[in-house]
Amino acid sequence: MDTILDNLNPEQLAAVTLPSQSALILAGAGSGKTRVLTTRIAWLLKTGQVSTSGIMAVTFTNKAAKEMLSRLSVMFPVNARGMWIGTFHGLCNRLLRTHYQDAALPQSFNILDSQDQLSTVKRLLKTNNIDDDKYPPRNLVYFINHAKESGYRASHVEPQDDYERKMVELYSLYEDQCQREGVVDFAELLLRSYELLERNQTLREHYQDRFRHILVDEFQDTNNLQYKWLKLLAGNDSSIFAVGDDDQSIYAFRGANVGNMLSFQQDFNVQNLIRLEQNYRSHGNILEAANTLIAHNRNRLGKNLHTDAGEGEPIRICEAPSDLNEVQWILEEVNHLIREGMERKQIAVLYRSNAQSRVIEHGLFSAGIPYRVYGGLRFFERAEIKHAIAYLQLIDNPANNAAFLRVVNFPARGIGARTIENLQEMARMHDISLFEAIPYVSGKGGTALGSFIRLIQSIRAEVQPMNLPTLIQTVLEKSGLMMHYQTEKEGADRLENLEQLVSAAMLFLSEEGFSQEAPALMTEAVTPAGEKSMLTVDEVMDADVPLSMIMSPLSAFLTHASLEAGENQAQEGQDALQLMTVHSAKGLEFDAVFITGLEEGLFPHENSAREDGGLEEERRLMYVAITRARKRLYLSYAQTRMLHGHMRYNVSSRFVAELPDKTMKWLTPKKQSSYLNPRHEPTARFDQSSVPQMQAPASFHKNSEWRIGETVIHKKFGEGVIVGLEGQGANVRANINFGRHGMKLLDLSIAKLEHA
Ligand code: ATP
Ligand code: MG
């Protein structure tokens, strides 16, 4: 027993061993919140206060859930697979699969990822002849998700004006369409399971009774519906153990509500508010930088972190003339760290926007340094994989029209747009799926559709007895996908990816405890040992039942593809540099961290200026970034950067100016004070021969209302960026880059410029 509690400080120990009441652990980054949460689970189990089935733990990513399970099994021998540890989406999926009938879903419902959701909405607008300039698909998606995350069905939303009335109407049509096609989007997973528990008293009481301990990590990022869901699931005798850090709340744009922390204290009558203030992750300089930075925010619950570790290395900061030079510098430093013996996977390069990763990837690739990108275009989002998945979905659930439309004419089988329109019309008229409507289409189109239906049916018959990897292999071949990419010029990579899909399936089966040999399509469950067992819903509800007893291997794998697999794309285990956005670095830690692109407009992001509290959210994001580092922290920015096809002329981020001087070491000549005045001399450090030369501007021009780097608007030339200023007072002239109109030197007392 003692061993699991041995390495805790007194506050952590108090938190781990709290009595069974709801509690809030409010603590800064690296103070051991996640560790406390995991240790508490082990402690509850070990002291016999609860059995594994009485515990539910919510983590922010599937990766975090896996890690928690593996740490748990070190502390305590648990049947990990059956435990309810996962993300909100993962846990809701589990509820819905178990109670699909009560939730009014087909057993093999498919999950729409965000890309699928967007195309579903586009299709909806098209079939209803809606002008998508007036009602842009993305706005509708946002509207729907926002409504769902607030707990509203279309019938609950009261439109304020005609525009909203139309949006609500479309939302309602979207609901019907998804229901018909047996698909649910991410927000629906939550809303549907919330409604299931709310309406069904027996089920609700069962789970309330079962889950005595609900533990939630990263609580600051829960949205309103997730909070309501937790409230519903917690019975009178349950306790919720929430850990979080208001300073790390970075998902307000997705509806997360830090206010939940305050509501939680009231709603659950929280007597135990524990603060952890000792940081175990970062060396002193890094921690001091984080503390000083976040102190610029006003809206805080307030706390400070200290560490027993020494100051450590200073934070190294570099101003590069261009983004290419920035990468060059990162490469030098990375090589240096590797020579010192640091593992590549202990080094993370963080950026604010995905678009920044391209140059970094290019640099790493050219230098032959293995790397892994989190986020970005994920394996399961690639076109060829989406096609393969669509075939698999059709075999799993023929009513899935989105899947149908994706592959009905891919590879090309001479089925034209006309035929498809015709088919959609028939499906609408008879209120059936596209698949079922095929016999109603006549003519040449009908014949082509007929062979498609026969193809799918014959594949479906053929794969009945097959295990998942063989099934996938067969589908890849019989669908014609393999052949298609074999003949395509640039198809080699895509073929390789398709083959990886088969390996991904094998890995998935073994990780999730499915039998490798079990037929992938069977509906009755099979235990990991391979014997058949038909479990009743009651049995499933009462026990720690692994997913393999609730879903067929194929359904489970498809769920995995939509929900889980996106978090990383390279093989685990390989020693590779880690590239990711700051958002996806949450909760992680690395020996060395590079925060790149610290430029006004990029980080803080320009959009943040337009939103209430936007800048504070950006600063929290910077706080998250800094606190990922254990030993080394590197900051960088570039005076010029190509982004989205435009050259940007930058000034350094205000966040750089907000960091304490004494923690930093400038690797390029130090700038004069604030981010508004980053005057500099060209540096000798960069080998300019290898990178394109840029005019190096970025100084704040005194006595002028204009600023280098600023975007301005000219009546005739449109938008441009000031890249140089000369003269004083009434004689100021500006060199302005007007994009396709080229560079102009304008006398500002004559030219009528406006600030953008
Ligand atoms: P974040 O806010 O970034 O999610 P956190 O508060 O969840 O951070 P953890 O990830 O749990 O922090 O812990 C940070 C690091 O400190 C981990 O490496 C953890 O193992 C270590 N740690 C936590 N508590 C202790 C302790 N009492 N003694 C030694 N190391 C500890
Ligand atoms: Mg954590």
Closest ligand 1 atom number to CA of residue 35: 11
Q: What is the spatial distance between Cα 151 and Cα 191, in angstroms, rounded to a whole number?
A: 6
User: Which residue is catalytic, options 59, 248, 265, 640?
Assistant: 248
Closest ligand 1 atom number to CA of residue 248: 2
Whether residue 493 is predicted with pLDDT greater than 80 in this model: the reply is: no
Ligand 1 center to 287 CA (angstroms): 14
Whose alpha carbon is nearest atom 24 of ligand 1? 32
Q: At what angle do helices 224-233 and 186-199 cross, to 10 degrees?
A: 30
* Residue 244 Cβ contacting ligand 1 at under 6 Å: no
At 583-622, the pLDDT tens digits run 989 999 999 999 999 999 999 998 888 778 889 999 999 9
Nearest to 58 by CA among 218, 225, 216, 238: 216
Distance separating the N- and C-terminal Cα atoms of the chain: 64
Q: Give the fold, CATH level 3, of 315-378+569-666.
A: Rossmann fold (3.40.50)
Q: What is the spatial distance between Cα 555 and Cα 98, in angstroms, rounded to a whole number?
A: 13
Poorest-pLDDT segment among 212-226, 382-396, 705-719:
705-719
Can you give the three-state secondary structure of 217-265, one letter per residue?
CCHHHCEHHHHHHHHHHCCCCCEEEEEECHHHCCCHHHCECCHHHHHHH
Ligand 2 center to 370 CA (angstroms): 27
Task: Tally Cβ neighbours within 10 Å of residue 43.
Answer: 21
> Residues 656, 675: contact at Cβ < 8 Å?
yes
Provide the total of helices (H) and of strands (E) in the chain, helices listed first.
Answer: 27, 21
Q: Which class does domain 110-181 fall in?
A: mainly alpha
At 413-450, the pLDDT tens digits run 889 888 998 999 999 899 899 999 999 998 888 999 99
* Residue 33 Cβ contacting ligand 1 at under 6 Å: yes
* Residue 9 Cβ contacting ligand 1 at under 6 Å: yes
* Percentage, residues of the chain above pLDDT 70: 89
Whose alpha carbon is nearest atom 21 of ligand 1? 280
Q: Does 94 participate in catalysis according to the annotation?
A: no
Of the residues 25, 247, 280, which should be mutated to test ligand 1's pocket, given the most ligand atoms within 8 Å of the CB? 280
Q: Does 175 participate in catalysis according to the annotation?
A: no
Q: Does 33 participate in catalysis according to the annotation?
A: yes
Q: Is the peptide bond before 411 cis (omega within 30 degrees of 0)?
A: yes
Whether residue 216 is predicted with pLDDT greater than 90 in this model: the reply is: yes
Nearest ligand to residue 31 Cα: 1
DSSP 630: E
Whether residue 531 is predicted with pLDDT greater than 70 in this model: the reply is: no
Q: Where are the alpha helices (DSSP H) in 278-322?
A: 284-294
> Residues 697, 723: contact at Cβ < 8 Å?
yes
Of the residues 281, 307, 308, which should be mutated to test ligand 1's pocket, given the most ligand atoms within 8 Å of the CB? 281
Q: Give all strands of the β-sheet with 753-755 in edge-to-edge order.
A: 743-747, 733-737, 718-726, 711-714, 753-755
* Residue 29 Cβ contacting ligand 1 at under 6 Å: yes
* Residue 8 Cβ contacting ligand 1 at under 6 Å: yes
Can you give the three-state secondary structure of 353-417, one letter per residue?
CHHHHHHHHHHHHHHCCCEEECCCCCHHHCHHHHHHHHHHHHHHCCCCHHHHHHHCCCCCCCCCH
Nearest ligand to residue 586 Cα: 1
Q: Given this model, what pLDDT does residue 333 score?
A: 95
* Residue 31 Cβ contacting ligand 1 at under 6 Å: yes
What average pLDDT is seen over the chain? 85
Length of the chain: 756
Nearest to 659 by CA among 598, 590, 594: 598
* Residue 433 Cβ contacting ligand 1 at under 6 Å: no
Nearest ligand to residue 33 Cα: 1
Give residues whose Cβ lies within 5 Å of ion ligand 2. 33-34, 587
* Residue 280 Cβ contacting ligand 1 at under 6 Å: yes
Q: Is the peptide bond before 469 cis (omega within 30 degrees of 0)?
A: no
DSSP 645: T
At 448-472, the pLDDT tens digits run 999 999 999 999 999 999 999 999 9
Closest ligand 1 atom number to CA of residue 218: 4
Ligand 2 center to 79 CA (angstroms): 23
Angle at alpha carbon of residue 219, lines to 218 and 223, rounded to 5°: 115
Q: Given this model, what pLDDT does residue 535 score?
A: 64
Ligand 2 center to 323 CA (angstroms): 32
Verdict on whether the full-model pTM lies above 0.90: no
Closest ligand 1 atom number to CA of residue 624: 3
In this structure, whether the domain defined by 10-101+190-278 belongs to CATH 3.20.20.220 is answered with: no
- The annotation places the binding site at 27-34
Q: Does 444 participate in catalysis according to the annotation?
A: no
At 4-27, the pLDDT tens digits run 898 899 999 999 999 998 999 999
CATH code for 380-512? 1.10.486.10
Task: Tally Cβ neighbours within 10 Å of residue 366.
Answer: 10
Ligand 2 center to 331 CA (angstroms): 29
Q: How far is CA 28 from CA 154, 263, 318, 624, in A?
A: 39, 20, 27, 10
Ligand 2 center to 541 CA (angstroms): 30
pLDDT-based confidence at residue 677 (cuts at 50, 70, 90): very low
Q: Does 319 participate in catalysis according to the annotation?
A: no
For residue 347, the surrounding DSSP H or E stretch is strand 347-351
Poorest-pLDDT segment among 87-91, 137-141, 724-728:
724-728
Q: How far is CA 324 from CA 320, 348, 367, 401, 532, in A?
A: 8, 18, 13, 45, 59
Q: Does 63 participate in catalysis according to the annotation?
A: no
* Residue 281 Cβ contacting ligand 1 at under 6 Å: yes
Do strands 711-714 and 718-726 pair parallel, antiparallel, or not at all (unpaired)?
A: antiparallel
Q: Given this model, what pLDDT does residue 448 score?
A: 92
**Predicted ipTM of the assembly:** 0.99
Q: Given this model, what pLDDT does residue 697 score?
A: 33
151 torsion bin: left (phi>0), alpha (psi -120 to 50), beta (else): left
